Chain A
């Protein structure tokens, strides 16, 4: 167990990681404050892309590219698809804010506080070993299918249930009783 380096002399990795973190938080705020619906989705792309950059800095290559592939490449494209099918005006929409704004802010701050407390409490002195080769597909596969099989399978079932639910809700030819 090596000595954790001091916070006062940051390395290049740490600076890049911090800058990417600032980008993530900044674009995350822009997602909820911008007045243009499609631009919000695009800021989300930047946010998730910067998160992938964070993973790259932590040498988790596989997770980083899967993040780009799934979140940037599929989830937000589907979001855009949905927005464009319903309404996607070019320019500002004045009615994007609802009256729930203060409540939403409180919930967001509370969630952030809980997460930050847990992470700081749990990993305050942990220091990630940044030697390359720790984040390959093989390592991740071994970790997921040897030590984390049960959570993985539980998540799969959860996603499957969500999928079936979405189909049932969206199909008009299946009637409720």
Chain B
């Protein structure tokens, strides 16, 4: 019943045919609108992040420039614009200059396919509240994200600094491996929605389907975040990795690498571009999370009871509210988690996220196949049994090997402890003797350093 009402109240979901028909000036207005939105978003986002993380750490944060410190980002931006533009002498000039541009441009471009709302009337023209859409729109975002990596890698290489190169290398390895897991976490969404276009994925989340299980009919929730919760959790981890945010901010790693890939971009507008791109990337992955998993611009439950919630320009507001919530999650994670180590990062990406994701996709695809095809059920069940059996055997094999390795390691560590206990200098490291007075108080006479 509810689905019927929802369909009747929302007749204006855009379809792919609605795109590419705007007059050129409408497209320009939309593009400029997105640009302004993103720039304001960055200004507000930097302030919001600093303020929120301050409150989480029991301090006030910026509160000098303007009311509540609201003008702090403006002041920082002006300061960067007025600083001297330092150009180190031995860098690769072209690439050093280009890399901030390479990182910023794809970040902005990716926003062109984000749906902000349904069909609206803009200056007398009926048009979707979205710059453009493609049959393969989500793929476009992934492709642009992968181009953005070049900005980081080239900034690291071109600035001729060991710290910067290390940052660039880490970034290359990290983004390439997390992008695979990210793309895999979209697969289940594509399976349910049956399309790669963002506006149609939003429409697919307007009504829930039904599942018949053991003869009973259940209606599934409409937002993909609930029925695809494993995909969503993996996507959340990957979006932190993809945007180089804590706990995956190894390319910057200010504890180890000074400033990471932007060490040599010490000042000026080039650094501002990196900052801008980082925040726009966060907005992009947040917008993608909202579009793919949180119902896009559609109103959340209590508001959706109101009939006009999904009409006109109102959805834009719901979208922005969801953006703020997802962005707050980023800040919360930054305030809570430490940075993980490089080998942990790679092992987590390749050995946990990707296999888990593949297994989940297999499982989910099997469920889908069970639902659509009545005739071939025995075949599917046989294949399912095979897959489950194979997974179990593989798991057993890995488990046995892992157990054996663990026991060996434990024995090794125990042996080493015993050896070091007998002869502390045996490890090859210069170890202070264990009978040093520092450990045992002053009952024994200490040899002062001046006598020998």
Contacts and interface: CB of A to CB of B under 8 A. Distances in A.
A45 B135 contact: no
A38 to B, nearest CB: 6
Contacts of A38: 92, 95, 157
Given A61-B134, A73-B149, A90-B90, A80 B139 contact: no
Contacts of A65: 136, 139-140, 142-143
Interface stretch (A9-17, A81-89, A101-109, A113-121): A81-89
Interface of A: 38, 42, 45, 61-62, 65-66, 68-69, 72-74, 77-78, 80-81, 84-85, 88, 90-91, 133, 136-137
B153 A90 contact: no
Interface of B: 90-92, 95, 134-136, 139-140, 142-143, 145-147, 149-150, 153-154, 157-158, 160, 165, 168-169, 172-173, 175-176, 179, 183, 196
Contacts of A136: 135-136
A84 B168 contact: yes
Interface of A is mostly: helix
Contacts of A69: 139, 142-143, 146, 183
A154 B146 CA distance: 28
A77 B92 contact: no
B196 A137 contact: yes
Contacts of A137: 135-136, 139, 196
Given A90-B158, A133-B135, A136-B135, A72 B146 contact: yes
B142 A45 contact: no
B136 A81 contact: no
B47 to A, nearest CB: 32
A80 B168 CA distance: 10
Given A77-B172, A81-B173, A90-B160, A68 B143 contact: yes
Contact of B146 (A62, A73, A90): A73
Interface of B is mostly: helix
B172 to A, nearest CB: 5
Given A81-B153, A84-B168, A90-B91, 18 more contacts: A38-B92, A38-B95, A42-B95, A42-B154, A62-B139, A66-B139, A68-B147, A69-B183, A73-B176, A74-B146, A74-B176, A74-B179, A77-B146, A78-B176, A81-B169, A84-B153, A88-B157, A136-B135
A61 B175 CA distance: 24
21 contacts: A62-B139, A65-B142, A68-B143, A68-B146, A68-B147, A69-B146, A73-B143, A73-B147, A73-B149, A74-B146, A74-B176, A77-B149, A77-B150, A80-B172, A84-B169, A84-B172, A90-B157, A90-B158, A136-B135, A137-B135, A137-B136
Nearest to A73: B146
A80 B143 contact: no
Contacts of A45: 150
B15 to A, nearest CB: 13
Given A65-B140, A74-B176, A90-B92, A80 B153 contact: yes
Given A65-B139, A84-B165, A137-B135, A77 B158 contact: no
Contacts of B147: 68, 72-73
B179 A73 contact: yes
Of A45, A68, A69, A133, most buried by chain B (CB within 10 Å of CB) is A69
A61 B143 contact: no
Contacts of A66: 139
Contacts of A74: 146, 176, 179
A81 B150 contact: no
B165 to A, nearest CB: 6
Contacts of A77: 146, 149-150, 153, 172, 175-176
Contacts of B149: 73, 77
Contacts of B134: 61
7 closest pairs, A vs B, by CB?
A: A73-B146, A68-B143, A136-B135, A65-B139, A69-B143, A81-B172, A65-B143
